[in-house]
């Protein structure tokens, strides 16, 4: 029996209704304090994921109109999310922001691949 995840469901449904409900998320309700600022690296990864996520939604909308490449867009979004999962947060601000962002993704049911969990777990191993 095959496991259906959100990417397979969205790609096979071609539903613009589902895609229209997709929105980019913020890092959290409260910004980190001065001593807990996000690193430039994590901020760039989050922005890259938000952009890829928006492109994935756009490709799904275009698919409904007979164009678009949701498979390519889905892969780009997946790579961007894996980069965040695998990012080794070093400061308190990064750890909090990464956790909040990934919890928002998980709450939407989109942190659904085994690779996501492996990347998160590997990112916590200190190689110093």
Each residue's pLDDT tens digit, 93-123: 999 999 999 999 999 999 988 999 999 999 9
**Chain centroid offset of residue 108 CA:** 10
Question: Is the CB of residue 62 less than 8 Å from the CB of residue 95?
Answer: no
User: Which DSSP category does 44 fall into?
Assistant: H
Phi (first) and psi of residue 19, to 5 degrees: -65, -35
| Torsion region of 68: left, alpha or beta (phi above 0 gives left; psi -120 to 50 gives alpha) | left
Cα gap 14→4, rounded to integer Å = 15
Cα gap 117→66, rounded to integer Å = 34
Task: Decide if pLDDT at 54 tops 50.
Answer: yes
Each residue's pLDDT tens digit, 74-90: 999 999 999 999 999 88
In angstroms, the Cα distances linking 80 to 18, 31, 52, 64 are 21, 22, 7, 24
Global pTM exceeds 0.75: no
Q: What is the pLDDT of residue 90?
A: 82
Map tokens 């492996």 to a residue. Answer: 118
């Amino acid at each position: 029996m095959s496991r259906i995840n959100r990417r397979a469901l969205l790609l096979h449904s071609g539903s613009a209704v589902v895609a229209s409900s997709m929105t980019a998320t913020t890092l959290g309700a409260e910004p980190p304090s001065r001593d807990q600022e996000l690193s430039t690296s994590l901020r760039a990864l989050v922005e890259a994921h938000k952009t890829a996520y928006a492109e994935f939604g756009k490709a799904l909308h275009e698919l409904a109109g007979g164009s678009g490449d949701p498979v390519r867009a889905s892969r780009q979004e997946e790579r961007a999310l894996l980069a965040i999962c695998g990012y080794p947060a070093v400061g308190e601000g990064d750890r909090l922001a990464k956790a909040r962002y990934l919890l928002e993704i998980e709450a939407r049911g989109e942190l659904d691949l085994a690779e996501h969990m492996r990347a998160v777990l590997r990112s916590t191993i200190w190689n110093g």
